[in-house]
Amino acid sequence: MSIQYDKIPNNVNLHEDRQLQRALEQWQPNFLKWWREMGPDGFQEDEVYLRTAVSVDPEGWAVYDYVKMPEYRWGIFLVPPKPNRQIAFGDNLGRPVWTEVPGEFRKELRRIIVVQADTEPASVEQQRRLGHTAPSLYDLRNLFQVNVEEGRHLWAMVYLLHKYFGRDGREEAEDLLVRRSAHPDNPRILNSFNKPVRDWVDFFCFTMFTDRDGKYQLAALAESGFDPLARTTQFMLTEEAHHLFVGETGIERIVRRTAELMRQDPNEDVTRLGGIPLDILQKYINEWFSAALDLFGSEDSSNAALYFAAGLKGRFREEEVWEDHRALEGNYVLEVPDASGQMRRVEIPLRRAMNQLLRDAFIADCERALGRWNRVLERAGITERLFLPSPRFNREVGVYAGYRFSPQGQLLSESEWQSRRDEFLPSERDRAYVQSLMTPVYEPGRFAPWIAPPARGINGKPLDFEYVRFHRQS
């Protein structure tokens, strides 16, 4: 099997790196096979107006053109090294960064990279049927852009495994193409990446909340003392910004449309007009926000302390925001239920609370987006508001797992939870209603009735641009 290396955009000297070439010769055909099997269902022969990363130049890193997805040029990019960069936190503060894997942290680093890598193909698998119900060509194109870039993020992580981890790195890279989202025997590593993404409200919540967890994980790894990981994740963040944009503006467009419809109906009942009621949207937010919180890991974590101490994973904007980069003093205070069901204060030593600090940065970012959506309601003269549920609500990981809390953060008994569950999370009826709205709109410039058009098109193109050209037999 021969690969045309000049077709793989990269700045890692691929055409001269024999070892990397040999690893890719094995892996790339399996990746393409995986993409055909598990990538977007039914649209592989269509031409999609996509951007492709071709350099790390902040001005011109992407080119836009029509591409058939299996021919997408997945590339390998690291931002250029900073000369004399030093480890910026933890016990190794001030030492030169590692350009090879430090032997004593090899296992930890491999684990960090594999867990991040696993989320990338998982999300493609979760979203693979959504193309059949896209609310517009603009949205269909954005879905596929997110999908191909998650594919590239997989490449980015696989590059690190191939380049720095030898034989076990190659085995891990193969396994990334073998696990499957929600597979009963061989699922993806993190639970939120085994959840079904059934409709476009799920998709916008996923790109808003789940991809945003990704942003914070990548940002924490962009601080890493393992320089190739820091440089790889920094470049991934430039692509991630678009995924977050898709989610945040997607929900905003639903809110905008719902507000318009509420004003058209004397009882503000949007279901008669084919809109998505705010209370259903709130339940989707509750579900996906709480699932994203779980991705940060436990509030009190010895792994997080180890990663920080070693200099492998920092805090969000470690160098700009924080002053004490050792974090050996101070506690994080949290209210946790005790055995008798009373809330009790616990103090977590700061290094063990690193997951929680990252989660706090994420929550603040989500609050900002909620403010934006609520301003749309306010301007439309609607008094209802959307909100983020309590971080205690619906958790499966961490100190609140195993308890029942309301979205307001009150501890509930199991029977109270069971009787009120459908107030908090989408019920089967809610889901069936949303599903009933999911009819595709493929005519350029038209949008499904449950969502407002975006403010502008992609790359300066008009809203009625043909973002996807279909090549199917009719």
Residues lying near Fe ion in the complex (CB under 5 A) are found at 120, 150, 153, 211, 240, 243
Choose between 120 and 248: whose C-beta lies nearer to Fe ion: 120
Q: Rounded to the nearest whole angstrom, what is the least distance from the CB of residue 149 to Fe ion in the complex?
A: 7
Give the span between the Cα atoms of 337 and 349, in whole angstroms.
18
Tell me if 354 sits within 8 A of 315, measured CB to CB: yes
Phi–psi pair at 91, nearest 5 degrees:
-70, -25
Tell me if 420 sits within 8 A of 412, measured CB to CB: yes
Residue 316 buriedness (CB in 10 A; 0-12 / 13-18 / 19+): buried
Give the span between the Cα atoms of 153 and 180, in whole angstroms.
17
Tell me if 347 sits within 8 A of 332, measured CB to CB: yes
Q: Rounded to the nearest whole angstrom, what is the least distance from the CB of residue 247 to Fe ion in the complex?
A: 9
Choose between 120 and 430: whose C-beta lies nearer to Fe ion: 120
Q: Rounded to the nearest whole angstrom, what is the least distance from the CB of residue 332 to Fe ion in the complex?
A: 28
User: Which tokens hold the place of 303?
Assistant: 């792994």
Q: Rounded to the nearest whole angstrom, what is the least distance from the CB of residue 212 to Fe ion in the complex?
A: 9
Q: Rounded to the nearest whole angstrom, what is the least distance from the CB of residue 143 to Fe ion in the complex?
A: 12
Choose between 134 and 208: whose C-beta lies nearer to Fe ion: 208
Please list, in sequence order, all residues whose beta carbon lies within 8 angstroms of the beta carbon of residue 383, skipping any fewer than 6 positions away.
Answer: 377
User: What Cα–Cα distance (Å) separates residue 67 from each residue in 70, 72, 84, 238, 240?
Assistant: 8, 6, 40, 21, 20
Choose between 142 and 258: whose C-beta lies nearer to Fe ion: 142
Give the span between the Cα atoms of 176 and 367, in whole angstroms.
33
Q: Rounded to the nearest whole angstrom, what is the least distance from the CB of residue 278 to Fe ion in the complex?
A: 27
Q: Rounded to the nearest whole angstrom, what is the least distance from the CB of residue 193 to Fe ion in the complex?
A: 11
Choose between 189 and 306: whose C-beta lies nearer to Fe ion: 189
Choose between 152 and 404: whose C-beta lies nearer to Fe ion: 152
What does 240-294 look like in DSSP terms, one character per residue?
A: HHHHHHHHHHHHHHHHHHHHHHHHHSTT--GGGGT---HHHHHHHHHHHHHHHHH
Tell me if 357 sits within 8 A of 345, measured CB to CB: no
Choose between 172 and 213: whose C-beta lies nearer to Fe ion: 213
